[in-house]
Structure 1
Amino acid sequence: MRSSNPFAFWRFEALFENSEQFIGGFFRTILIAALALVLALAIGVMIGLFSTSKNRFLKVFARIYVEFFQNIPLVILIFFMYNGLAMAGLVMSEFTIGVVGVGFYHGAYIGEVVRAGITAIPKGQTEAAYSQGFDYIQTMRYIILPQTVKIILPPLANQAVNLIKNTSVLAIIAGADLMYSADSYASSSLNYGPAYLVAGLLYFSLCYPLAVFAKMYEEKLKNKDIVTVTPISLPEVIE
């Protein structure tokens, strides 16, 4: 007679016999997270630049974008894209909703990270660049952003961790991600304990290395005092 223990060995055996479902969801989660992160980084850099520009319209746009996405739950955004937009005639696949929804949502948080990194650079460097004939775009491209990257890497890694975990909300729209795969298997087999435990370990395997990197790099910055930016020589202006 099989044990009724929710973590009995036979339950894990049954799970690994159906491991294809978990493997498919795992790699789908990685793909969605990777594409969403690329989108979030692109949006984040744009929002960060808008937030620190002298153009009032761009600054207001960036502030509205950040406040909007930081103050609504991601699940509401996903439901809106899945049901609301579909009713308006714009039907998207669960995969597309995952990439776009998670990407736009985390773009607001990364935008704040980029903004904080840019403002951490001494204003004297921007003024020096302008005095050499650089415009705003050239100043950001050649002087400010290269130094900003070193400062914002740890919080960016933390945002990547949060992004990976937030892909789990796609389970509510049958996104075929890791969480949906685990929940589907658990519901059909009643092996809830092993299913959620393995899903948690798979998420852990993705997130923990990034969290460790963020912590180690932050300690490296503190030890080497990289956060204190030193003046650099200005490159020639490229016409």
Structure 2
Amino acid sequence: MIMLKKRILPVIVIAIVYILFFTFIINQVADVLDFSVIFQYKKQLIKAIGTTVFLSLAVLFASMIVGFLLFLMTESSNRYLKYLIIVYKEIVMGTPLLVLVFVVVYIIGVAFNISDKLMLGFTALTLYMSPYMTNVYEGAYNTIDENQFIVMDFYGFNLFQRYRYIILPQMIKSIIPGLINNLSSIVKGTSILSTIAISEIFYSVSVVSNRTYRYIEGYFVLWMVYLVITIPLSRLAKYYSKQWNQND
């Protein structure tokens, strides 16, 4: 009971501090804020939120696949293939997302005669997140006991059998927190696509703010939308990470 109080009390105190802080801020600017104008465009904003969530989930799924393929290549005995992926990872992880989006849309897209900006934006985000997904897989792979590989060699498992029956089942639990954190990064990363006029939430709020001249209200709503999405994801990732560590 005492331990429970020690855990709950700091949470309550911090929550009160934040509530008082935001209440003070809102009271100070209440006279100049008018959210009713912004909420006149609620259908457009809700649609934009849906686009952001759908695009984020699609990028997560695609980058999981591409990232896993990259991971398999990095584990390959073929040096040329291995170094090819290492160089790719260094290039992508050393490039800001904004720059990569412009490269994919205005250089690669033009070179291949592709004009669909939504597809190109999706591709840019997938290319950007794939190396980070690869790192998640590598981290999970490195947690597998070396004795497991000795057993697989002893029974003569082929590559498919190794991953199907031994490696992947042991990797799944440890990759979940990383995948959730990457999803949070993707959600925030979709804001970069506003630069190529993709109607996700950042772009839509910017358009509404420009029409209504209510920039403070617009970006406050945008801030709240991102927090509502990313904070639960962050807490969920920490929960699964804690559960996995306890099971070990």
Provide the TM-score with structure 1 as the length reference: 0.86
Q: Could you tell me whether the CA contact under 8 Å between 1:33 and 1:163 is conserved in 2?
A: yes
Structure 2's unaligned 5+ residue stretches are: 1-27
After alignment, is 12-21 or 76-85 more displaced?
A: 76-85
Question: In structure 2, what is the equivalent of residue 66 of structure 1?
Answer: 89
Residues 57-106 of structure 1: CA distance to partner in whole angstroms, max 9, x if unpaired? 33212212211111001111111122223443522322212221101110
Question: In structure 2, what is the equivalent of residue 219 of structure 1?
Answer: 242
Question: In structure 1, what is the equivalent of residue 230 of structure 2?
Answer: 207
In 2, Cα distance between equivalents of 1:155 and 1:54: 26
- Between the two proteins, what is the percent identity of the paired residues? 27
Q: Please, which of 99, 105, 114 is the counterpart of residue 82 of structure 1?
A: 105
Change (3 A) 1:61 1:31: same
The alignment of Structure 1 onto Structure 2 pairs a total of residues equal to 221
In 2, Cα distance between equivalents of 1:15 and 1:107: 36
1:19 equivalent to 2:19? Answer no
What amino acid maps onto 1:212 in structure 2? Answer: R
In 2, Cα distance between equivalents of 1:62 and 1:109: 13
Q: Could you tell me whether the CA contact under 8 Å between 1:39 and 1:100 is conserved in 2?
A: no
In 1, Cα distance between equivalents of 2:166 and 2:84: 25
Q: Please, which of 59, 62, 79 is the counterpart of residue 36 of structure 1?
A: 59
Q: Please, which of 170, 176, 194 is the counterpart of residue 199 of structure 2?
A: 176
Per the TM alignment, residue 155 of structure 1 is displaced from its structure 2 partner at its CA by 1.7
Which secondary structure state, in structure 2, belongs to the residue aligned with residue 48 of structure 1? helix
Moved over 4 A (4+): 5-10
In 2, Cα distance between equivalents of 1:122 and 1:215: 24
In 2, Cα distance between equivalents of 1:214 and 1:47: 23
Change (3 A) 1:141 1:205: same
In 2, Cα distance between equivalents of 1:62 and 1:88: 22
Residues 160-207 of structure 1: CA distance to partner in whole angstroms, max 9, x if unpaired? 111111011001111111000011111121101111111111122221
RMSD (Å), alpha carbons = 1.8
Which secondary structure state, in structure 1, belongs to the residue aligned with residue 147 of structure 2? helix
Structure 1's unaligned 5+ residue stretches are: 226-239
Q: Could you tell me whether the CA contact under 8 Å between 2:105 and 2:121 is conserved in 1?
A: no
Question: In structure 2, what is the equivalent of residue 237 of structure 1?
Answer: none
Q: Could you tell me whether the CA contact under 8 Å between 2:67 and 2:130 is conserved in 1?
A: yes
Q: Could you tell me whether the CA contact under 8 Å between 1:49 and 1:115 is conserved in 2?
A: no
1:160 equivalent to 2:170? Answer no
Change (3 A) 1:49 1:171: same
Per the TM alignment, residue 126 of structure 1 is displaced from its structure 2 partner at its CA by 1.6
Which secondary structure state, in structure 2, belongs to the residue aligned with residue 35 of structure 1? helix
Mapping 1:84-233, distance limit 5 Å:
84-225=107-248
Residues 22-49 of structure 1: CA distance to partner in whole angstroms, max 9, x if unpaired? 1121111111111111110001111122
Which secondary structure state, in structure 2, belongs to the residue aligned with residue 120 of structure 1? coil
In 2, Cα distance between equivalents of 1:63 and 1:137: 23
